Amino acid sequence: MSQSWRWTLLPLLVALALFANAISGAGFVADDSFNLAEHAHHGDLWGEWTTPTYAHAGGERGHIWRPIPATLQHVAAIALGRTGSVFRGLNLGIHLVNILLVFWVARRWGAHASVAGLLTLLWTTHPSLPEAVCWSSDIYDLMATTAMLTATALVASKKLNPAHWVGLTLTLLIACLCKESAMAVLPALALLTAYRHGLRIGVQAGAAMGIGVAAYWSLHNQVTAQGYLDAASNTAVLEIVDAWLMLCGWFVHVPARAPMAHLFDRTTDGPEVWAGMLVVLGLLFFAADQARRHPHRKIIGVTIAATSLLLVPAAVGIPFIGVAPFRYIYMPLALLIAVGASAWSEPIRPTWMMGLLVASLIGGARSAERIPAFENDASLWSAELKWEPTNPYAAGSLARAMIADGQPAKGIALWAQAVDRAQPGIRVFDKQNERWLLAQTAFMKRQPAVALRQVEMLIEEAADSGSSVPAMAHCLKADSLDALGHHEHASIAAVHCPG
């Protein structure tokens, strides 16, 4: 036991060294301003369970219902204040719990303490993890992982009984109430259960977990009256495959590009897809070689198969949303590390220990470089734009932050450049909508020339594509012309105003 605790302290202390220092300066970034900075019904905890999560926070994203993390954040805000530091500290606390769980699950599945400790260290220093730990809104990935790891620990029991079936039902329900993609935990853990306890027990475990998933699905439909199947049905299979391969590649190779704002594009993401193919082939070769030489290490291949199932929701979501952020592998990587570690029940060899420490040092250095970006919107999107200078989504987000920070001239100029560069069809940066928002902002910030140019291009592009323009577009054009002193042209444009 004392040996286990010593090895547990290593990843815990490293995680604290990496993440804790940034809590005091943590601000609201990206969707935090929508989800967390304000709350339409502050104090109404029951409302988190009766309305879609973001609708209750004041918006209209009614298909998402994640009441457990939303309630926890709401309780923290009531008790400690609605500040970035409170929510960041909450995320770190849950991540530290997950570190303990990854280590504990690895030990329950049979890993030696030294193996469990070093692989858990490798997990918490992985360069993809700052995206989940440092973005306060991503608490749902952290908490779904907590539930998933708890269920994985239950499966590791020497003999499963009715109490375990109840536990699996509840943990899957809890996982889904944290994030809907946790439904993929069902087939992943059913596969691992079948390997550990036999096919019959695996089917029983799957049935128990299925009750939890079915309960969530029913509750979700009652609360939101919306589902998630449209994402899968409207996404091309080849796009899903490419996204899945990209995700696989990140286990070993986290590319040097925008971690949050990277736009998924099959025509330019070839290197990441090829990297994913190489990682998949390498992992399969390694698993087959270990199983041939050490039959008890067949668990490696089974764990890889189970992890691949956990990647499916993200593989569907990436092309549907249009962005490929690293945070999607937080949960799958935790499962891969925790259960895969069980292939080594003997003490780790010095050469392997040195290799894992070096890999952790490199990953930790990359994470330490990334963490300060989450201080505020300006720092985050500046960092994203540094990696991808032509990314319109990152540029537009930075432009909004600059305008909010009292730099309207620079922000509007950057926003206009981003809109001009953007290609049609970007889901997270709709060119027509961005032009309209930019035109309105420019006019309100006393830049009528920019407003006029943007609204005229909006009208022209709409005419070319056969789409409609906002009802007030011609009114804004008239107001811009009038502000520039072109009163006669303004009168002509005003004819097209509604009413």
| DSSP-derived secondary structure for 50-66 | HS-HHHHTTS--TT---
Is there a single domain that holds both residue 370 and residue 397? no
- 257: which residues sit within 8 A by CB, 6+ positions away? 387, 388
Backbone angles phi, psi at 253, to 5 degrees: -120, 105
Predicted pLDDT of residue 465: 81
Look at residue 461 in the predicted model and tell me its pLDDT: 87
Q: Which of 374, 399, 422 is the last residue of a domain?
A: 374
Asked whether residue 330 is assigned to any structural domain, the reply reads: yes
Q: Which residue type does 422 have?
A: A
The structure tokens listed for 407 are 């730099």
How far is residue 275's CA from residue 458's CA, in Å, rounded to a whole number?
Answer: 40
Is residue 369 domain-shared with residue 424, that is, in the same domain? Answer: no
Instruction: Residue 262: name the closest of 349, 327, 322 by CA.
Output: 322
Closest CA to 177 of 206, 205, 147: 147
- What's the one-letter identity of residue 304? I
- Tell me which of 329, 346, 374 is where a domain ends: 374
Lookup: tokens for 256: 């040097």
Structure-block tokens of residue 128: 């993809």
User: pTM (2 decimals)?
Assistant: 0.92
Say what the pLDDT of residue 20 is. 94
Statement to judge: residues 111 and 164 lie in one domain: yes
The pLDDT value recorded for residue 5 is 79
pLDDT attached to residue 227: 67
Question: What pLDDT score was predicted for residue 38?
Answer: 86
CA 210 → CA 158, 174, 185, 186, 381, distances in Å? 22, 13, 10, 7, 40
DSSP alpha helix (H) spans, 389-486:
392-404, 408-421, 431-444, 448-465, 473-483
For residue 331, give Cα distances in angstroms to 139, 174, 444. 12, 15, 44
Query: What are the φ/ψ torsions at residue 81 (nearest 5 degrees)?
Result: 110, 150
Could you list the residue range(s) of the whole structural domain that residue 431 is in? 391-494
- 207: Cβ contacts below 8 Å, ≥ 6 apart: none
Q: What is the CATH number of the domain that holds 399?
A: 1.25.40.10
Residue 150 maps to a domain: yes
One domain for residues 421 and 364: no
Q: Are residues 295 and 443 in the same domain?
A: no
Instruction: Note whether 295 and 344 are same-domain residues.
Output: yes
Q: Fill in the amino acid letter for 324.
A: A
Residues constituting the chain: 499
pLDDT of residue 93: 97
pLDDT, averaged in runs of 10, over the chain (499 residues): 78 96 89 86 90 77 86 95 94 97 96 95 96 95 97 93 94 96 96 95 95 95 76 79 96 93 92 96 94 92 96 93 94 97 92 94 95 94 95 95 94 94 87 92 93 92 84 89 89 82
3-state DSSP call for residue 343? helix
pLDDT at residue 499, rounded to an integer? 64
Distance CA(48)–CA(31), nearest Å, equals 18
- CA-CA-CA-CA torsion for 28, 32, 35, 38, nearest 10 degrees? 20
The tally of domains found in the chain comes to 2
**Tens of pLDDT along 176-197?**
999 999 999 999 999 999 999 9
User: Are 53 and 178 in a shared domain?
Assistant: yes
Note whether residue 385 is domain-resident. no
In a domain, 499, yes or no: no
Chain centre to alpha carbon of residue 141: 7
What pLDDT was estimated at residue 231?
A: 58
* CA 157/CA 154 separation, integer angstroms: 6
Q: Which residues of 178-215 are buried (b: 16+ CB within 10 A; e: fewer)?
A: bbbbbbbbbbbbbbbbbbbbeeebbebbbebbbbbbeb
Instruction: Say whether 479 sits in a helix, a strand or coil.
Output: helix
Q: Identify whether residues 337 and 418 lie together within a single domain.
A: no
* 54, 403 contact by CB (below 8 A): no
Q: What is the pLDDT of residues 63-120, one digit of tens each?
A: 789 999 999 999 999 999 999 999 999 999 999 999 999 999 999 999 999 999 999 9
List helix spans (H) across 125-161. Answer: 130-134, 139-155
Predicted local confidence at residue 354, as pLDDT: 95
Asked whether residue 379 is domain-assigned, the answer is: no
